[in-house]
Amino acid sequence: MLNLQRLRMLREVQRMGTLAKVARSMAYTPSAVSQQLALLEREAGVVLLEHVGRGVRLTPEAENLVHHADAMLARMELAESELAGSHTEVGGTLRIGAFQTAVMTVASRALDILDERHPKLAVDITQREVGEAYEGLLAHEFDVIIGEEYPGLAEPVREGVDRTTVIRDPLNLVIPGEGPLAETPRRFSDLKDAPWAMDPADQPTGQWARGICRSAGFEPRVRFDTRNPLIQAHLVRTGHAVALIPALLNRQYLAGTRLIGLPGDDHRMVYTSNRTGRASHPAILACREAFQEAVRGETAPEPDLRLTE
């Protein structure tokens, strides 16, 4: 009989391409992964892997086996969800991967809600950017992730993953409350000579921010390159930069700054994602409900004004 854990390992090889990456993902040594896959080959009675350079490639027989493995793993998680649903209380451990501003804002309130309603449910949260979080979700490192999607940068649809929108979060221009950079711009292009605090260019957030500037006819002078929105807010508050920051970072973090709405009224989408087989798991349902309620309890600050172009 084929071993389900080894089938899952084969699936990870298809997804990652090297035994070393699979070993890191599943907390094995590369030699242990190789041994387990050799056992799976003997169980299946066919060759499953071909070496290509430093990586490996699945044979057609292995590809077909992975297709069945996906179905079996999803069915197993569905069975586990149904069993969990028969219990009177939500319990166990829920592992969440979440991006930074979600951890800084609504996660704390969501944890309070879960602690109050489901005291037997333990929740572990790990900060991960969206791409890394999805990798963790597909590798079964996380049960659910909190993700974000910026305008014009749609996240790819991933097979076997469900996604539910939590909030449409407005994106604002943030300028200092006083000092040389506090002068109110009439249009976005008035900021062409301003120093900016932005996410790195290789991040979706950084790509979106630079795209906004380029669409206004200028290349931003990025003086501060940082993924930390608290550092960006601090640099704006102290008069050293302007920045584009989501509204979910409320007045607690944006005190001493002025918010200006963007011409296109841009929003980012904040969402939860989980593997399809766990969509009905009580812990997943409780998590989604808690984050939705936490978001409803957050009042995003209104912009002081909105740019017309």
Domains in the chain: boundaries: 4-83, 88-168+268-296, 169-267+302-306
Nearest of 215, 229, 230, 225 to residue 195 by alpha carbon: 225
Q: What is the CATH number of domain 169-267+302-306?
A: 3.40.190.10
Task: Using pLDDT thresholds of 50, 70 and 90, give the confidence band for residue 300.
Answer: low
Q: What pLDDT does residue 301 have?
A: 67
Q: What percent of the chain has pLDDT over 90?
A: 43
Mean per-residue pLDDT, 26-31 = 85
Mean per-residue pLDDT, 243-269 = 85
Give the HSE-up count for residue 116: Cα atoms under 13 Å, Cβ half-sphere.
7
Q: What is the CATH number of domain 4-83?
A: 1.10.10.10
Nearest of 17, 298, 12 to residue 138 by alpha carbon: 12
Per DSSP, 150 falls in state B
Other Cβ atoms closer than 10 A to 142: 25
**Better-scored residue on pLDDT, 264 or 258:** 258
pLDDT higher than 90, residue 275: yes
Mean per-residue pLDDT, 73-84 = 84
Q: What pLDDT does residue 221 have?
A: 96
CA distances from 300 to 144, 188, 190, 232, 241 (A): 25, 22, 26, 18, 22
Give the HSE-up count for residue 63: Cα atoms under 13 Å, Cβ half-sphere.
7
Asked if 88-168+268-296 and 169-267+302-306 have one fold, the answer is: yes
* Mean model confidence pLDDT for the chain: 88
Q: What is the CATH number of domain 88-168+268-296?
A: 3.40.190.10
84-127 pLDDT, tens digit per residue, is: 878 888 989 999 999 888 888 888 889 999 999 999 999 999 99
